[in-house]
Amino acid sequence: MGLLTNTTVGLISALPKGLVRRLASRYIAGEELPEAITRLQKLNADDFTAILDILGEDDGSGDEAAAIARARSAQGQYIRAATELAGAGVDAYVSAKPTHFGLRQSEDLCFELYDELADHCAQHDQFLRVEMEDHPTVEGTLSVFERLLRKHANVGIVLQSRLFRTGDDIQRLIGAVPTGHRLQVRMVKGIYLEPASIAHTDYQPIADAYVEHTRTLWAAGARVSLATHDDLMQPRLEALRAELDVGTDAFEYQVLMGVRPPLWRAWQAAGLPVRVYVPYGPDWHAYSMRRLKKNPKLLQQMALGIFAKS
Ligand code: FAD
């Protein structure tokens, strides 16, 4: 951790929790579902579709039984959230992390929880996104997703351009799509800092891989959610879209609530569909601190965002 990051960690850790909460409210929609739904409704009123994430992931604490109970409880919260979204008529779907659904305890458990949630979402005509976490979880996540893909048309995955393995994973998923289903991928750079032996670590190769993977996916007929706030990479994606004549049913942009809103408003004004990712949950403080420890650069970004005028 560099000096600046150390200093920033020290400063933020020293702030009262209430103040940090106020600062974090730009990025996190509160602790309870009704607060999150109000944020989603505001976004819908501004013509943004949305994604709802309940903050949480397996932190490895406690025994096996406790971890399994936490995973089941998390899935129950997602079922309730999907029901409430439908009841409120909100244009949003839910997105969940595999370790939040017990991946570290058992792939079968993780599959079972996503499987039930996918059925529930389908009843409400909703989509379900399986998120991607750090590299030790990637293989398990893909195995769970392949099983889901065989059963459900309303599920999608996240792939990270930072990882060397992603090109092979794309070919594997293209080969696994059953007739009548479509591969639906949220393309990201990858938020976890991974070792140089398995991942690109510099900006340019990560951005180049992002564009190339998107090309492969579009060429194979996949629907790609372009999750980025990168104003340098986005024109390359638009040029690629024009080159491949990608229709409006095969893409959208996805952004994080609070991160560079002027940029995504400009994209929307240019006629591009933009979906906003909205996290909420009582676990926001512990969750934010865990994520910041995994990638301290996030703290600097958050601190910059906090102290920015926009
Ligand atoms: P950045 O790379 O942060 O770029 C922002 C700006 O900085 C741009 O202007 C860019 O051009 C510039 N820039 C940055 N570095 C350089 C440099 N070195 N040189 C020149 N210019 C530079 N990650 C996961 O791992 N799993 C997930 O499930 C996941 N879900 C996500 C869902 C959504 C909706 C979004 C938006 C992101 C998600 N992410 C996820 C996070 C993602 O992986 C990225 O970490 C995050 O989006 C930051 O990358 P970026 O492309 O947005 O922009």
Q: Is the pLDDT of residue 307 over 70?
A: no
pLDDT over threshold 50, residue 99: yes
pLDDT of residue 220: 97
Local confidence band at 306 (pLDDT 50, 70, 90 cut-offs): very low
What percentage of the chain carries pLDDT values higher than 90? 76
Q: Does residue 38 register a pLDDT over 50?
A: yes
Give yes or no for residue 195 having a pLDDT over 60. yes
pLDDT over threshold 70, residue 10:
no
Residue 6 domain flag: no
Print burial letters for 18-48: b (CB count within 10 Å at least 16), e (below 16): eebbebbebbbbbeebeebbebbbebbeeeb
Do the domain assignments include residue 154?
yes
192 Ramachandran zone, left/alpha/beta (phi>0; psi -120 to 50): beta
Residues 6+ apart with CB under 8 A from 164: 198, 199, 200
Q: Is the CB of 294 under 6 A from ligand 1?
A: no
pLDDT tens across 221-247, in order? 999 999 999 999 999 999 999 999 999
- pLDDT > 70? residue 57: no
- Residue 190 Cβ contacting ligand 1 at under 6 Å: yes
Residue 289 CA to residue 113 CA, distance in Å, equals 26
In a domain? residue 250 = yes
**pLDDT-wise least confident of 21-35, 228-242, 250-264:** 21-35
Is the pLDDT at 1 greater than 50? The verdict is no
Mean pLDDT in residue range 46-61: 86
Q: Does 16 fall in a domain?
A: no
For residues 178-201, give the mean pLDDT.
95
pLDDT tops 70 at residue 19:
no
Whether 2 maps to a domain, the answer reads: no
Residue in 147, 166, 85, 71 with CA at minimum distance from that of residue 120: 85
* Tally of structural domains, the chain: 1
Is the Cβ atom of 156 under 6 angstroms away from ligand 1? no
Q: Give the span between the Cα atoms of 266 and 262, in whole angstroms.
A: 6
Q: Look at residue 43 and tell me whether its pLDDT is greater than 70.
A: yes
Ligand 1: nearest atom to the Cα of 229: 52
**Quick check: 276 pLDDT over 60?**
yes
Please, what's the b/e burial string for 288-300 (b: 16 or more CB within 10 A of its CB; e: otherwise)?
A: beebbeeebebbb
Would you state the pLDDT for residue 296?
A: 60
Closest Cα to atom 25 of ligand 1: 190
**Distance in Å, CA 201 to ligand 1 centroid:** 13
State the average pLDDT over residues 265-277: 98
Strand partners, 142: none
In a domain, 285, yes or no: no
pLDDT for position 305:
45
**Tens digit of each residue's pLDDT (9 = 90 or more) over 162-186:** 999 999 999 999 999 999 899 999 9
Provide the terminal-to-terminal Cα distance of the chain, rounded to the nearest Å. Answer: 28
Mode of pairing for the β-strands spanning 251-256 and 223-227 = parallel
Identify any residues that bridge with 50 across adjacent strands, giving them in sequence order: 92, 276
| C-alpha 190 to ligand 1 mean position (Å) | 7
Given pLDDT bands bounded at 50, 70 and 90, which one contains residue 27? confident
pTM: 0.91
> What is the mean predicted confidence (pLDDT) over 45-72?
88
Q: Is residue 227 part of a domain?
A: yes
* 255 ligand 1 Cβ < 6 A: yes
Task: Write down the pLDDT at residue 294.
Answer: 58
**Residue 4: its pLDDT value, please?**
47
Q: Which position has the higher pLDDT, 306 or 120?
A: 120
Decide whether any atom of ligand 1 lies within 6 Å of the 86 Cβ. Answer: no
Lookup: tokens for 206: 């990560």
Quick one: pLDDT at residue 98? 97
Residue with CA nearest ligand 1 atom 45: 191
Within-domain flag for 15 = no
How many of the other CB atoms lie within 10 Å of CB of 70? 19
Domain that holds residue 158: 29-280
CATH code: domain of residue 158: 3.20.20.220
85 lines ligand 1 (CB under 6 A): no
On average, the pLDDT of the chain sits at 89
